[in-house]
Amino acid sequence: MAPKLPIVDLRSDTVTRPTPAMRKAMADADVGDDVYGEDPTINRLEEEAAEMMGCEASLFMPSGTMGNQTALFVHCRPGSEVVVEARSHILNYEMAAMATISGLLPNAIYTEDGIMKAEEVLAAIRPDIYYYARTRLVALENTHNMAGGRVIPLEVQRDIQSVARDKGLALHLDGARIFNAAAFLGVPAREVAAGFDSVMFCLSKGLGAPVGSMLCGSAPFITEARRVRKMLGGGMRQAGVIAAAGRVALQEMVPRVAEDNDLARRLAEDLKGVPGLVIIVPPESNILILTVGRDWYGSEEPGEDSRAEGFVRRLRAHGVLALALDGVRVRMVTHFDLPENTVDRVMQAVASVGR
């Protein structure tokens, strides 16, 4: 591994740098033109990813967003609806792509904890009356990023899948951090991926690859997805140089994501004793979201516009980076590229910024 970052960068698990093994694999990669299907490293990565998800085939994507949006485009027709949880990434952080690219409307279900129940999904599905849009797809997010990294239990997924199947809907999983979910549940990732028509997961989040996500599904689905990826400008050429890092990510980094989940849990244990900070849910994976109390971290300084931003700015002065999500919520995400003493560093920083 490269020397640990001197700062404690908890803004996201996307901030990790490729490991020495990844850099070596990148330098040594066999490559070809992937638009002709001739990049051997990409072809191997696609086989390995499909196998891990228990799918027939997979496709190397430049980003998770392109993976999700390609899946929606292939599964749906313009003018139809997609059932999503209200805080999902697909709805909130993909620049309205489902509307602009695929002509889709979200049908958002508001939940307390980020976990939709089968009855709620059933109630959201439009009846077959001519003046309604057709509901075409249900998308789940596991782990659920903005719900504090919550893991959707497998039985909840199965219940939703059975409702969706019954109604003839397609099912997509945004599994950007599927390996963190699998580690929490103590099952192989293919069990979390089971029962979906398509699954997207990221190589560039907790697994440390510099670029890339995988879209997995049946062979006919992936054939279509390959066309859509090209249409979106995502056809890549000798991208085996980056796929090589993705292969190392799958081989070497998957087994260790449980450590990231554990670090988030230990961080929460210590932070929950701090007055003025409330952890929204005990972390199940590598994401921790807390709310910042006004009395403790409210700012009198000019130009500071929110407690969360004020808190984050003060932490930064102590070498700890976190992400202000809105006026009151702050996110911290654990990953392998953090120093050994991360919990101590965070606690020291928090102690020095308090009232």
- Determine which residue in the list 14, 238, 299, 348 makes contact with ligand TLP, applying CB under 6 A: 14
The site map against ligand TLP for 177-216 (x = CB under 6 A) is: -------------------------x-x--------x---
Asked if 16 interacts with ligand TLP (CB under 6 A), we say no
Q: Which residues 6+ apart lie within 8 Å of 46 measured at CB? A: 57, 58, 59, 60, 214
The one segment of 59-67, 114-122, 221-229, 310-318 that binds ligand TLP by CB under 6 A: 59-67
Alpha carbon distances (Å) from 298 to 149, 270, 305, 316: 26, 21, 10, 16
258/187 Cα distance (integer angstroms): 12
Instruction: Please compute Rg for the chain using Cα positions.
Output: 21
The site map against ligand TLP for 67-106 (x = CB under 6 A) is: -x--------------------x---x-------------
**Which is nearer to ligand TLP, 92 or 306 (by Cβ)?**
92
**Which is nearer to ligand TLP, 14 or 238 (by Cβ)?**
14
Residues 140-169 that bind ligand TLP (CB under 6 A): 141, 145
183/93 Cα distance (integer angstroms): 25
**Residue 248 three-state SS:** helix
156/75 Cα distance (integer angstroms): 22
CB of 66 to ligand TLP, least distance (A): 7
- Determine which residue in the list 4, 40, 63, 238 makes contact with ligand TLP, applying CB under 6 A: 63
334/289 Cα distance (integer angstroms): 12
CB of 79 to ligand TLP, least distance (A): 24
The one segment of 2-10, 52-60, 63-71, 263-271 that binds ligand TLP by CB under 6 A: 63-71
The one segment of 31-39, 41-49, 51-59, 62-70 that binds ligand TLP by CB under 6 A: 62-70
353/52 Cα distance (integer angstroms): 44
CB of 248 to ligand TLP, least distance (A): 18
With contact defined as beta carbons under 8 Å apart, do 135 and 80 qualify? yes
Q: Which tokens is 100 given? A: 């602009």
CB of 57 to ligand TLP, least distance (A): 20
With contact defined as beta carbons under 8 Å apart, do 5 and 338 qualify? yes
**Which is nearer to ligand TLP, 174 or 309 (by Cβ)?**
174
CB of 82 to ligand TLP, least distance (A): 14
**Which is nearer to ligand TLP, 68 or 261 (by Cβ)?**
68
Nearest Cα neighbor of 106 from 74, 139, 75 is 139
**Which is nearer to ligand TLP, 64 or 208 (by Cβ)?**
64
**Which is nearer to ligand TLP, 97 or 125 (by Cβ)?**
97
Asked if 260 interacts with ligand TLP (CB under 6 A), we say no
With contact defined as beta carbons under 8 Å apart, do 293 and 20 qualify? no
Q: Which residues 6+ apart lie within 8 Å of 141 measured at CB? A: 85, 88, 89, 90, 114, 152, 173, 174, 175, 176
- Determine which residue in the list 64, 234, 246, 276 makes contact with ligand TLP, applying CB under 6 A: 64
**Which is nearer to ligand TLP, 70 or 204 (by Cβ)?**
204
Alpha carbon distances (Å) from 71 to 116, 202, 216, 351: 20, 14, 9, 45
CB of 292 to ligand TLP, least distance (A): 19
Q: Which tokens is 13 given? A: 């698990």
Contact residues toward ligand TLP (CB under 6 A) are 12, 14, 63-65, 68, 89, 93, 141, 145, 174, 176, 202, 204, 213
